[in-house]
Structure formats: C-alpha cells, structure tokens
Amino acid sequence: MDDPLSVGFLGYRFMGKAHANALARLPMFFPDAPSVERDVLVGTDEDALAEAKERLGFARTATDWRDVVDDVDVFYNLGPNFLHVEPSVAALEAGTHVLCEKPLAPTTEGAERMVQAARDSDATAGCAFNYRFVPALQYAKNLVEAGELGEIHQFRGWYLQDWLVDPDAPWSWRNDAELAGSGALGDLGAHTVDLANFLVGERTGPIERVSGHLRTFVDERPDPETGEPKPVTVDDAYSAQAEFASGAMGTFEASRFATGHRNDHHVAVHGSKGSLRFSLERLNELEVLREGDRGYETVLVTDADDPYVDHWWPPGHVVGWEHTFVHENAEFLRSVASGTQYEPDFEDAMAVQRVLDAIAESDETGAWVSVDG
C-alpha cells in the first residue's frame, strides 16, 4: 500500500468537523479511496485548536498556515471566505493539492488569482460544492444528461434559511462585505448556481446574463462581545433571473429570513419531456416526472445501484447531510492520487463566482448584466 496522503486543515469548526469526519469514515466505507493521515490542524485560538486536534483526530497543530501549505500533501482551506485566497494560492504554488470551501473568494480578483494558481500548478484544485455529491442529485444529473427530461426550459432554485430573522441575532463575519464577500448570495446562492451548472449545464450551456435583486432587512446587529451595533454590509436575501445560452430561463433565490426554513435548498427543472424536484431537507428523495407520467414519482434514492449507495446501507436506510462530504472527499482524493481531473475545480467555482458577481452588479445598476467568461 502507498504511503498515506498527509493532510492539513485550515479551520476546525463547522467545515473542519465535516471534512474530518469524512476522512475518518473513508476506510470503512470507501476502502478503495487513498489512505489519508490527518496530520496538522491550523488555527489561531490555541486552546480551541488543541481541543479540536484531539477530537478531530489530527497529529499536530500549527498557528500559521504558511508553515503548513508546503508541508502536507493536501491542504484543505476551510477557513472563512477572506482566508480563501492567499493560503490556497501559496499551497498550489508549492505543488500542494487544495480543496477549498465555497465560494471561491470574496472578490473576483481574488478568485482569478486562485484560478490562475490552479492553472499554473500540477496539483489538484477542488472547490467543495458538496451538494453535487448528494446521491439523489447525481441520479438527477444522469436523468437530465440521458435526455429523459428532453430540452430543458426552466431551472428554478431557492435556498431558504431563517437564522437571521431575529433582528437581535449577533453580528458575525458572515454579515461583513469585506470578510464574506456577500451574504445570502455568496453563501447560499453559490450552491444553487453551482447545482444549475451541474444539473443542466451540459444541456443549457452556461448562464449568459442575469438580473439581480439584493436586500438587507436589518442594517446593524449587536457585536457578540460588546453588544454595540455593527453595520451589516451584505444581503440578507437575494433573487435573480437568468438566461442560459440555450435560451432556457433560470430563477434563483435565497434568504436568511425565511421563517421556519432551517436549510431548505430546493431545485426544480422543467424540460420538454419531464420535470424533477429536490429538497435538501429530504435529501434521500427525488421527485421525478418522466415522459408519459402524469405526476411526480417520489423516488427514494437509496437502492443498491444508486450513486454511492452500495457503500452504505440496504435500500430504505437513509443517509444524512454529512454523507455528501464523504463522497466528495473520496472523489477528490482519488483524483489527487491518480492525477485525474477533479470536478468541481476552481474553474467551475469561478464560473459560479462570475454569475454571483453579475447578480450583485445588476442589483447596483438596475439592469441585466452579461456574465463574463
């Protein structure tokens, strides 16, 4: 057996836990995936870092990512958005493989630097759009690409959360334009736009132009430490209209103010022969309408021949949100080990970023904006 790939993580909170868990589960469920050594965990709060190292099963810690990016085989950039660019670029320049959380960067310039670094490097650069690895969505993509829905007329997606509806919910870096880039648009919309590209892009071509609408419902929020009001400089919700190259229509929405919706990412596709619907809160299910059907069939995508399912449990034994990370890591590490192309890569993430940028620009100009690229 080859030596295990040594891995360093920047970030040990939500995404750190999700990816560490994924790596820990590979040997039992994806025994053919490359073996991995959780080597070093990077962070600044040394106490929290030490605790996380133990819990997440890492060998050591570091407080400066500069010491790490050329010292491991694979660098996971799981920090806040404003830390995506420099460490990822440095790692790629050092020939270290990179898996970076989405969205790629808070600014287009930063994202372009990342793409260029990926182009210039022999290392693999992946962006962690984990929803591509929901079995039901891979099944959906296969249906679309096999032509079962015919010509695609409409893609509709919305991502509803409610964790900011309380005006007294505390300020965080996610409310700051410089640190986060944007709000619901970048955090949630990135997922929806990527799923549009993933699910129907092969049929519709790329999104060519968009019209956007951003809205901040609560303008300032209390600093979690001082209680003093701090300005909210990102959107609480956005909507967008889009035209794909094929002429297909798209509509996109996200909100952090949709009371009662915790994590409701919904996508719908309507084609000339069929339709499909998916909701993240019921992620084992896909609603499918094929040619000749009269209504949607609720397919529980847990059969043995469904994507990834043979690695897990018998039919009807549902998986959870975290399983998408296991699939993603298995695929990414296989690409790393074999030197094959990984999708979604930084170009794919850049394609998303361009759409998000155009939506934000459209909100400012009040006019449709062409998507560069």
Residue 37: beta bridge partners?
6
Contact with its own copies (CB under 8 A): which of 201, 274, 307, 344? 274
One-letter identity of residue 64: D
Closer residue to its own copies, CB minimum distance, 55 or 119: 55
Contact with its own copies (CB under 8 A): which of 264, 343, 345, 347? 264
Contact with its own copies (CB under 8 A): which of 217, 222, 345, 361? 217
Smallest distance from its own copies to CB 253, Å: 6
Nearest-angstrom CA–CA distance, 102 and 84 = 9
Closer residue to its own copies, CB minimum distance, 56 or 352: 56
30-41: b (≥16 Cβ within 10 Å) or e: beebbebbbbbb
Binding of its own copies at residue 255 (CB under 8 A)? yes
Closer residue to its own copies, CB minimum distance, 110 or 135: 135
Closer residue to its own copies, CB minimum distance, 83 or 283: 283
What is the DSSP code (8-state) at residue 201?
A: H
Binding of its own copies at residue 35 (CB under 8 A)? no
Smallest distance from its own copies to CB 201, Å: 18
Residue 61 token pair: 């810690």
Q: Which of 124, 182, 30 is nearest to 346 (CA)?
A: 124
Binding of its own copies at residue 263 (CB under 8 A)? yes
Smallest distance from its own copies to CB 295, Å: 4
Using DSSP, state whether 24 is helix, strand or coil.
helix
Question: How many residues touch its own copies (CB under 8 A)?
Answer: 86
Beta-strand runs (E) in 43-137: 60-62, 74-77, 97-100, 125-127
Contact with its own copies (CB under 8 A): which of 158, 198, 308, 346? 158
Nearest-angstrom CA–CA distance, 176 and 315 = 44
Smallest distance from its own copies to CB 368, Å: 4
Q: Which of 52, 102, 109 is nearest to 328 (CA)?
A: 102
Binding of its own copies at residue 234 (CB under 8 A)? no
Query: Taking CB under 8 A as the criterion, which residues in 49-68 touch its own copies?
Result: 54-57
Query: Taking CB under 8 A as the criterion, which residues in 326-355 touch its own copies?
Result: none
Binding of its own copies at residue 243 (CB under 8 A)? yes
Q: Which of 236, 125, 91 is nearest to 175 (CA)?
A: 236
Closer residue to its own copies, CB minimum distance, 121 or 302: 302
- Which secondary-structure segment (H or E) carries 212? strand 207-215
Do the beta carbons of residue 358 and residue 212 sit within 8 Å?
yes
Query: Taking CB under 8 A as the criterion, which residues in 282-321 touch its own copies?
Result: 282-285, 289, 293-300, 302-303, 312-321
CA 1 to chain centroid, in Å, comes to 32
Binding of its own copies at residue 271 (CB under 8 A)? yes
Binding part of the chain for its own copies, among 18-26, 62-70, 110-118, 188-196 by CB under 8 A, reads 18-26
Query: Taking CB under 8 A as the criterion, which residues in 166-185 touch its own copies?
Result: 167
DSSP per position, 230-250? EE--S-SEEEEEEEETTS-EE
Residue with tokens 């007329």: 153
